[in-house]
């Protein structure tokens, strides 16, 4: 019965997804199985790091996820090479992979003494079974054995062959009307090593803010091209709202209420945690608080083995609003659901509060509130959280190159820019 439910929900999602993009398959980060939780993909040496691999360098990515169940499932995986816009490349797997084109996840552990039973799965990429030959965008697809058409997880990651160099900084906007709200990403790219004759046709430049894809700049054109240097000092096209520091809470220790935790109830079959009532920060002064840029970090101070002894709890999110918001629907924004904004808050007319509850694993979480408006792809965060130039943010610049005579996009440049030092965000 469980497998039938997984197939039905998978088909429903894939069908609606294909209609929305008019028949062109564009991959996204997505958790398809309702029992799949706490999906992470990170470098082996940094659990909060970005899912980036560099060709010919040894620092693999680690996938971790839980399935809420007491029975082990046989899961397989494959890697899909994509173009810069996350459509499947015109390449066969044998052209971008060495070894096998699919393999099984063999590393799994059962949870120990937890109220909510689960199996913890982990995987290293690349590994002895599958190695990567080409740079570019990749999808890691996880699926049940003999059921490759119905994924339980699709997760993006990047493989870089650094053939060009990028230098830049985050500066205030030259427009005095918005300079307190906006962050401008000013940078230059040296593409001399590519010997590109037609950079405007062969090169794609993207900028991403933190982990979000909804507000990503996808095809930025340079201000000028001279002597192999692309100059992106544009002032208008390469700007982002600075927004605010991410809200956060920590329930790595279930013995006491930490900051922003109002109450912990451990009397039921599932622990429940109520967060302090959130309010809009749009018209409040900027406050520099610790931030993890929408990420989460799994940790338990109650036990030793976080992967298998960490407890799941229902987290109650509460947002105060005198009246229901008329111009959009309220969602949580963060990496706990792969930035998919799957968690909608509903309004209670009696308490004048938006509310939702989310099952999460013990640890530290950061998030924001966002408005989804009809007909708009980019969500509105600033009207709830405010926007300030000093806000710490991470920006990721990616340079893609489609060489003459080829049909796929290489990822030839990657640079992270930040406007803070590590101690200032602790």
**Dihedral sign computed on CA atoms, order 214, 219, 224, 227:** positive
pLDDT at position 189 is 98
The β-bridge partners of 351 are none
- The C-alpha atoms of residue 208 and residue 158 are separated, in whole angstroms, by 13
Let me know: does 135 contact 410? Beta carbons within 8 Å: yes
In 3D space, the residue among 307, 313, 210 whose CA is nearest the CA of residue 258 turns out to be 313
- Here the tokens at position 403 are 């060489």
pLDDT tens by residue, 251-288: 999 999 999 999 999 999 999 999 999 999 999 999 98
> Residue 214 above 90 pLDDT?
yes
b/e 283-304 (16+ beta carbons within 10 angstroms → b): eeebeeeebbbbbbebbbeeee
Convert the pLDDT of each residue in 57-91 to its tens digit: 889 999 999 999 999 999 999 999 999 999 999 99
Which tokens hold the place of 282?
A: 């749009």
Structure tokens at 184: 């401008």
d(CA 281, CA 101): 49
* Residue at token pair 């803070």: 420
Tell which wins on pLDDT, 296 or 302: 296
358 burial type by CB count under 10 A (0-12 exposed, 13-18 middle, 19+ buried): middle
Which residues sit opposite 226 in a β-bridge? Answer: 229
Residue 213 has pLDDT above 60, yes or no: yes
pLDDT digits (tens, 9 = 90+) for 102-124: 999 999 999 999 999 999 999 99
What is the mean pLDDT of the segment spanning 396-415?
A: 97
Q: Which residues pair with 194 in a beta bridge?
A: none
pLDDT at 426: 53
pLDDT of residue 263: 97
Residue predicted with more confidence, 374 or 161: 161
pLDDT of 58 reads 83
According to the model, what pLDDT value does residue 23 have? 56
Q: State the average pLDDT over residues 201-229.
A: 95
| Average pLDDT value for residue range 209-229 | 95
State the pLDDT confidence band at 424, using cuts at 50, 70 and 90.
Answer: low
Full set of structural domains in the chain with CATH: 2-160 (2.60.40), 165-242+390-425 (2.60.40), 247-385 (no CATH)
Measured over all CA atoms, what is the biggest interatomic distance in the chain, rounded to whole angstroms? Answer: 68
Task: Give the whole-angstrom CA distance, residue 311 versus residue 352.
Answer: 31
**Gap between the Cα atoms of 351 and 165, Å rounded:** 54
CA dihedral of residues 329, 335, 339, 344 (deg, nearest 10): -20
Q: Comparing C-alpha atoms, which of 244, 249, 358 is closest to residue 297?
A: 249
Q: What is the pLDDT at residue 56?
A: 84
How would you write the chain as a 3-class SS string? CHHHHHHHHHHHHHHHHHHHCCCCCECCCEECCCCEEEEEEEECCCCCCCCEEECCCCCCEEEEEEECCCCCCCEEEEEEEECCCCEECCCCHHHHEEECCEEECCEEEECCCCCCCCEEEEEEECCCCEEECCCEEEEEEEEECCCCCCEEEEEEEEEECCCCEEEEEEEECCCCCCCCCEEEEEEEEECHHHCCCCHHHHEEEEEEECCCCCCCECCCCCCEEECCEEECCCCCCCEEECCCCCEEEECCCCCCCCCCEEEEECCCCCEEEEECCECCCCCCCCCCCCCCCCCEEECCCCCCCHHHHCCEEEEEEEEECCCCCCCCEEEEECHHHCCCCCCECEEECCCCEEEEEEEEECEEEEEEEEEECCCCCCCECHHHHCCCCCCCCEEEEEEEECCCCCCCCEEEEEEEEECCCHHHHC
Percent residues over pLDDT 70 in the chain:
93
Residue 78 pLDDT:
98
Least Cα distance to 226 among 250, 255, 183, 191 occurs for 191
CA angle 34, 36, 37 (to 5 degrees): 115
Residue 6, φ and ψ in degrees, nearest 5 = -60, -40
Q: Are 327 and 131 in contact (CB under 8 A)?
A: no
Please determine, for residue 422, whether its predicted confidence score (pLDDT) is greater than 80. no
pLDDT at position 391: 97
Q: pLDDT (tens digit, 9 = 90+) per residue, 2-28?
A: 444 444 344 444 433 433 444 568 999
> Residue 309: what are its φ and ψ, rounded to 5°?
-110, -5
Which pLDDT does position 5 carry in this prediction? 42
What is the per-residue pLDDT for 25? 85
pLDDT of residue 174: 83
Residues in the chain: 426
């Amino acid at each position: 019965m469980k497998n039938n439910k997984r197939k039905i929900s998978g088909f429903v999602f894939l069908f609606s997804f294909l209609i929305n993009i008019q028949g062109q398959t564009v991959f996204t980060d997505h958790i398809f199985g309702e029992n799949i939780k706490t999906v992470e993909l990170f470098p082996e040496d940094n659990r909060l790091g970005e899912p980036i691999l560099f060709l010919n360098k040894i620092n693999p990515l680690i996938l971790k996820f839980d399935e809420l169940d007491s029975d082990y499932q046989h899961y397989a995986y494959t890697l899909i090479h994509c173009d810069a816009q996350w459509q499947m490349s015109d390449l066969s797997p044998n052209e971008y992979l060495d070894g096998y084109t699919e393999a099984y996840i063999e590393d799994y552990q059962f949870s120990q003494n937890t109220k909510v039973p689960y199996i913890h799965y982990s995987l290293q990429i690349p590994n002895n079974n599958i190695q990567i030959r080409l740079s570019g965008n990749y999808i890691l697809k996880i699926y049940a054995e003999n059921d490759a058409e119905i994924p339980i997880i699709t997760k993006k990651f990047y493989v870089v062959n650094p053939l060009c160099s990028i230098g830049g900084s985050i500066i205030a906007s030259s427009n005095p009307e918005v300079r307190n709200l906006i962050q401008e990403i000013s940078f230059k790219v040296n593409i001399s090593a590519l010997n590109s004759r037609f950079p405007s046709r062969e090169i794609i430049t993207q900028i991403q803010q933190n982990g979000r894809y909804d507000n990503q700049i996808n095809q930025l054109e340079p201000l000028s091209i001279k002597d192999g240097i692309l100059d992106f000092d544009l002032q208008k096209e390469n700007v982002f709202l600075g927004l605010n520091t991410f809200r956060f809470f920590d329930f790595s220790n279930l013995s006491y209420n930490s900051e922003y935790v109002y109450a912990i109830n451990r009397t039921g079959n599932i622990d429940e945690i109520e967060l302090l009532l959130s309010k809009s920060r749009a018209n409040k002064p900027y406050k520099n608080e610790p931030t993890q840029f929408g990420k989460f970090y799994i940790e338990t101070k109650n036990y030793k083995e976080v992967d298998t002894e960490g407890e799941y709890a229902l987290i109650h999110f509460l947002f105060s609003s005198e009246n229901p918001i008329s111009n959009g629907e309220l969602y949580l924004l963060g990496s706990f659901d792969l930035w998919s904004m799957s968690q909608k808050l509903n309004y209670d007319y009696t308490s004048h509060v938006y509310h939702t509850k989310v099952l999460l694993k013990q640890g530290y979480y950061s998030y924001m509130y966002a408005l989804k408006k009809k007909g708009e792809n980019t969500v509105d965060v600033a009207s709830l959280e405010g926007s300030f130039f000093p806000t710490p943010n991470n920006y990721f610049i990616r340079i893609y190159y489609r060489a003459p005579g080829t049909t796929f996009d290489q990822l030839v440049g990657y640079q992270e820019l930040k406007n803070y030092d590590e101690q200032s965000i602790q």
